[in-house]
A = this chain, B = another copy of it.
Amino acid sequence: MSGNSLGLLFTVTSFGESHGAGIGCIVDGCPPGLDISVEDIQLELDRRKPGTSRHVTQRKEPDSVEILSGIYEGKTTGTPIALLIRNQDQRSQDYGKIVDTFRPGHADYTYWHKYGIRDPRGGGRSSARETAVRVAAGAIAKKWLKEKFGIVIRGYMSKLGEIDIPFQSWDHVSENAFFAPNLEIVPQLEDYMDAIRKERDSVGAQISVVAENVPVGWGEPVYDRLDAEIAYAMMNINAVKGVEIGAGFDSIAQRGSVHCDELTPKGFATNHAGGILGGISTGQDITVNLAVKPTSSIAQERASIDKDGNPVMMATTGRHDPCVGIRATPIAEAMLALVLIDHALRHRAQCGDVVVNTPRIPGKIA
């Protein structure tokens, strides 16, 4: 309960540091009988792993996952699934100079004051390397949601710095290094990133995630609302500074007559709500945007202090993503999957697999 577990019933407990022995997690509460192979998980890890283009960190980590428990003859048994990813490309020496100095924009300063001690190697626990285990755990969640309910969870980059990326097709997302849903714009994105790197700078991004086919009725009424849990999950991703659901910040300037989605016998007429009303899923697409800040590690000289409070100038020279948003899409998908499966189980606990004797609205809500 010290901030390394996610979920009440489908619980992921994570461990590991950037340059320690490895990273991993225990997934507890997975329903039994689900087919899960190493490949199911590796497929998702490969989408997030570093070194796949010149626009991301050049650290070489295969991120090969080992399943230590919880699977018997290819199926989940209902007992904890432990996953282990050994670190391969540790270069602790790269980080020697930051042992006594706080990198600006990083957690060095806050960890030091919180714990009175910190593992400085690559940021230790605060490194975004930890997000690999969420992707691994999310792969299990995604598979169960897909098989049990037909739920599809997909994300893409919707903004890179000042550039808006108009959505063209889900098919484009997997065909470029940016997870952009628009292949035409990719050359522009590449030029943009090349310029940023040349300036030894970094930039932010916006990621959008959508969940389709979520049943009506998931989420809790007052706290633990589905949107609140999604906001929590997304803001738990390193570098995320904002989250919005549906119309989000645009709803500030909207009128009620515009924002509020009308209902028809064939379903909702619009989806400004982003698929959630009163904290509970409506059956429409759940739509989420997240703001990812620019990478704090840049090769420019920046003012900082050391542990004794003396001023220092430092540039961060290790291998870093010039835009951490580029690899954030699979992480955001995983987080959404983890929230949804937890609420699927919570809903089932209180209300049962089927709620009987209740007249329902006919027709699919789309």
Copies in the complex: 4
Q: Determine the residue in chain B with the shortest Cβ distance to A130.
A: B222
Docked-complex contact B82 and A16, CB < 8 angstroms: yes
Docked-complex contact A280 and B110, CB < 8 angstroms: yes
User: A347 with B114: in contact, given A161-B252, A242-B243, A253-B161 (CB under 8 Å)?
Assistant: yes
Query: A207-235, CB under 8 A of B: which get 1 and which 0?
Result: 00000000011111111110111111111
Q: Determine the residue in chain B with the shortest Cβ distance to A25.
A: B26
Q: Determine the residue in chain B with the shortest Cβ distance to A113.
A: B216
Contacts of A261 in B (CB 8 A): 104-105
Rounded to whole Å, the gap between the CB of A125 and the closest CB of chain B is 4
CA distance A15 to B13 in the complex (A): 11
Residue of B161, B247, B256 near A203 (CB, 8 A) is B256
In the complex, whether A187 has a CB less than 8 A from a CB of chain B is: no
Docked-complex contact B203 and A254, CB < 8 angstroms: yes
Interface size of A as a range: 35 or more
Docked-complex contact A282 and B203, CB < 8 angstroms: no
User: A82 with B280: in contact, given A72-B124, A242-B248 (CB under 8 Å)?
Assistant: no
Residue of B14, B79, B202 near A255 (CB, 8 A) is B202
Docked-complex contact A119 and B31, CB < 8 angstroms: no
Stretch of A47-55, A168-176, A297-305 that contacts chain B = A297-305
Docked-complex contact B11 and A28, CB < 8 angstroms: no
Rounded to whole Å, the gap between the CB of A16 and the closest CB of chain B is 5
